[in-house]
Structure 1
Amino acid sequence: MLEISGVTAGYGRTRVLHDVSIEIPTGKAVSVMGHNGAGKTTLLRVATGLIPVMSGRVRIDGEDVTRLPPSKRVARGLGYVPQGQLSFPQMTTLENLQLVAKRGSDIDEVFDLFPVLKELLGRRAGLLSGGQRQQLAIARTLLTKPRLLVLDEPTEGIQPNIVADIERVIIDLTRRGDLSVLLVEQHVGFALRSTSSYYVLKAGRIAVSGDGGDVADELVREAMAI
Structure 2
Amino acid sequence: MLRIQSVRAGYDRTTVLHGVTVEVPKDGVAAVLGHNGAGKSTLLRTVMGLVPASAGTVLLDGEDITRLAPHRRVARGVAYVPQGQQSFPHLTTAENLQLVADGRPDGKEAVAEALDLFPVLRELSGRRAGLLSGGQRQQLAIARALITRPRLLLLDEPTEGIQPSVVAEIEETVLALTRRGGLSVLLVEQHVGFAMRAARRYYVLEAGRVTSSGDGGAEAEGTVRAALSV
TM-score by length of 1: 0.97
The farther-off stretch of 105-114 and 181-190 is 105-114
Output the amino acid matched with 1:77. Answer: G
Q: 5 Å matches for 1:48-87?
A: 48-87=48-87
1:47 is aligned to 47
1:113 is aligned to 117
Say yes or no: does 1:156 pair with 2:156.
no
Q: 1:176 aligns with which of 168, 180, 186?
A: 180
Alpha-carbon deviation of 1:22?
Answer: 0.6
The one-character-per-residue Cα deviations of 1:189-222 (angstroms, maximum 9, x if unpaired) are 1111122211110111111111123441111111
Q: 5 Å matches for 1:118-157?
A: 118-157=122-161
The one-character-per-residue Cα deviations of 1:126-177 (angstroms, maximum 9, x if unpaired) are 1000100000000011001111000000011111111000000110000012
Output the amino acid matched with 1:156. Answer: E
Output the amino acid matched with 1:146. Answer: P
For residues 3 and 188 of structure 1, what CA distance do their matches in structure 2 show? Answer: 23
**3-state secondary structure, aligned to 1:110:** helix
Say yes or no: does 1:201 pair with 2:205.
yes
Unpaired stretches in structure 1, ≥5 consecutive residues:
none
Output the amino acid matched with 2:188. Answer: V
Q: 5 Å matches for 1:204-215?
A: 204-215=208-219
Alpha-carbon deviation of 1:21?
Answer: 0.5
Output the amino acid matched with 1:168. Answer: E
**3-state secondary structure, aligned to 2:53:** coil
Summarize the Cα distance change of 1:214–1:131 in structure 2 as closer, same or farther, 3 Å threshold: closer
The farther-off stretch of 94-103 and 31-40 is 94-103
Output the amino acid matched with 2:119. Answer: P
2:91 is aligned to 91
Alpha-carbon deviation of 1:108?
Answer: 1.6
Alpha-carbon deviation of 1:77?
Answer: 0.4
Asked if the contact 1:208/1:219 (under 8 Å) is kept, the reply is no
**3-state secondary structure, aligned to 2:31:** strand
**3-state secondary structure, aligned to 1:22:** strand
For residues 191 and 133 of structure 1, what CA distance do their matches in structure 2 show? Answer: 20
1:29 is aligned to 29
Alpha-carbon deviation of 1:104?
Answer: 2.1
TM-score by length of 2: 0.95
Output the amino acid matched with 1:125. Answer: A
Output the amino acid matched with 2:11. Answer: Y
Alpha-carbon deviation of 1:52?
Answer: 1.2
- The percent of aligned pairs where both chains have the same amino acid is 65
Output the amino acid matched with 2:91. Answer: M
**3-state secondary structure, aligned to 2:127:** coil
2:226 is aligned to 222
